[in-house]
Amino acid sequence: MSRRGRALVALAVAVASLAVAACGRDDFENNPRPPAAIPISVQVNDDQITVSPAEFGAGIADFTIVNLGDVPTAIEIDGPTAGESDEIAPGTSGGLKMEMDTGDYEATALDLDAEPFDFVVGPERESSNNDLLQP
């Protein structure tokens, strides 16, 4: 075999070994992304609490809470998972971000006689794969 032939064989062996090495593992488990956080608005006044939407899927919920009442208050979420916001001054807003499991929930205003609001968290929402995620 000529010198050129041996060089071509060596090059072919090098390319083949690189191709085999680049394949990687074939047992890689590609888990989908969790659902994107869903924005939920909560309005509180001296008489009532309103959660909108009143039904949404399980996953991360990002509650934006507006206190339209006359006294500072915090919101408590009770259900399969529970959480509580920081105190929110009258005329201002606050937030609460929490993982929500499927089930029935109740939102209650602490330090107010406002009527609690019942809402439902359904099955987990779809994966956020291929969704443009906003900051």
Q: Where are the domains of the chain?
A: 38-124
Distance CA 124, CA 101 (A): 8
The pTM of this model reads 0.71
- Token match 């064989």: residue? 9
Distance CA 20, CA 117 (A): 60
CATH of domain 38-124: 2.60.40.420
Structure confidence by residue, pLDDT tens digits, 37-96: 899 999 999 899 999 999 999 999 999 999 999 999 999 999 999 999 999 999 999 999
Structure confidence by residue, pLDDT tens digits, 13-44: 666 665 555 555 555 566 777 788 899 999 99
* Residue 59 φ/ψ region, left for φ over 0, alpha for ψ in the -120 to 50 degree band, beta for the rest: left
